[in-house]
Amino acid sequence: MSATSTARHAAEPGPGAGPDGHDARGGRLERIVRSPLGWMTAGLAGVGLVSGVTATGPGPVPVLGAVAAVAVYWLVMRRVARRSTPEIARRGAGREALLGGAIGLGFVLVSASLITAFGGYSFSWAGQGVMAVVWSAVMVQIGAAVTEEVLFRGLALQALEQLWGSRAALVITGTFFGIAHLGAPGATAWSALAIASEAGVMLGAAFLWRRNIWFVAGLHFAWNTTEQLLGIPVSGHASEGLFTVDVHGSAVLTGGGFGLEAALLPVVLGVLLAVRMFVLARGGGRLLPRRSARPTQAG
């Protein structure tokens, strides 16, 4: 083939090209990748990989994993979804994390106190080194809280509400949050439903209210860390705490071996908090209707 004919062949649109000469297949692929399901899938894969490598690492490794997860999230949102990321802005992050942490701490302390008052729990000092136990709990729970919130609220909830609105996204992500905990020790259908209702829906409603990852991560972190330090299993996972807990009576009251999240009282409290946060989100105009364009940024 001559040089002239080669150049002509290269310049001619191929069988997959559109009328303007661009590769239509490439255009379709780009649209798929940049769609909500496309960038959600890319983000879930990237953050999930980071979490899988770092979640059970020693010392500060889970925290480094959390930093990497946020970086992956930012990259996917900015480069793939092509949207800004006010939900992870550094400005006001500390305030939001502390507010969320206060709610998470209060939720667990009130729940544990009520169960104790009804005779379900009794606590005793574990006698372990305070600093070592606290350090370990904080490192692990920062990693878990941040990565899970980036996955479920940052990626999944925001992508699904772009397609079907905030209400549907809240129900779907809450349900899958419960299903994701079915593999935990002592998990049952009831514990999955409890986690979906009190944690999945509440954390989703918290995000819709504040539109801030640091708020829901702070809530999640304080919840898990307080449970661990009290010696209560965190979603079925028993870890070293500052106290040991003796469980008495029905699993309906105590949550049994799965821990506080499978007890009835925290489920009721969690649902009440979720309803309140959802009402605040709706009142603030932060909910997306079906097929709306973009979420309203929290003030």
Q: Three-state SS string across 241-257, please?
A: CCEEEEECCCHHHHCHH
Q: How confident is the model at residue 24 (pLDDT cuts 50, 70, 90)?
A: low
Q: How confident is the model at residue 27 (pLDDT cuts 50, 70, 90)?
A: confident
* Consecutive H or E run containing 217: helix 213-230
Helix, strand, or coil (residue 271) = helix
* Consecutive H or E run containing 122: strand 121-125
Higher pLDDT: 28 or 246? It is 246
Cα 27 from chain centroid (whole Å): 32
pLDDT tens-place string over residues 87-140? 999 999 999 999 999 999 999 999 999 999 999 999 999 987 899 999 999 999
Q: Domain extents for the chain?
A: 92-283
User: At residue 269, does pLDDT exceed 70?
Assistant: yes
Q: How confident is the model at residue 26 (pLDDT cuts 50, 70, 90)?
A: low
Q: Is 285 left (phi over 0), alpha (psi -120 to 50) or beta?
A: left
User: At residue 23, does pLDDT exceed 70?
Assistant: no
User: At residue 55, does pLDDT exceed 80?
Assistant: yes
> Which residues 6+ apart lie within 8 Å of 228 measured at CB?
137, 140, 141, 234, 239, 241
Averaged pLDDT of the chain: 90
pTM, to two decimals: 0.87
Question: What whole-number distance in Å separates Cα of residue 182 and Cα of residue 96?
Answer: 30
> Which residues 6+ apart lie within 8 Å of 46 measured at CB?
72, 75, 76
Structure tokens at 95: 């305030």
pLDDT tens-place string over residues 144-194? 999 999 999 999 999 999 999 999 999 999 999 999 999 999 999 999 999
* Radius of gyration of the chain, Cα coordinates, nearest whole angstrom: 23
Contact 33, 80 (CB under 8 A): yes
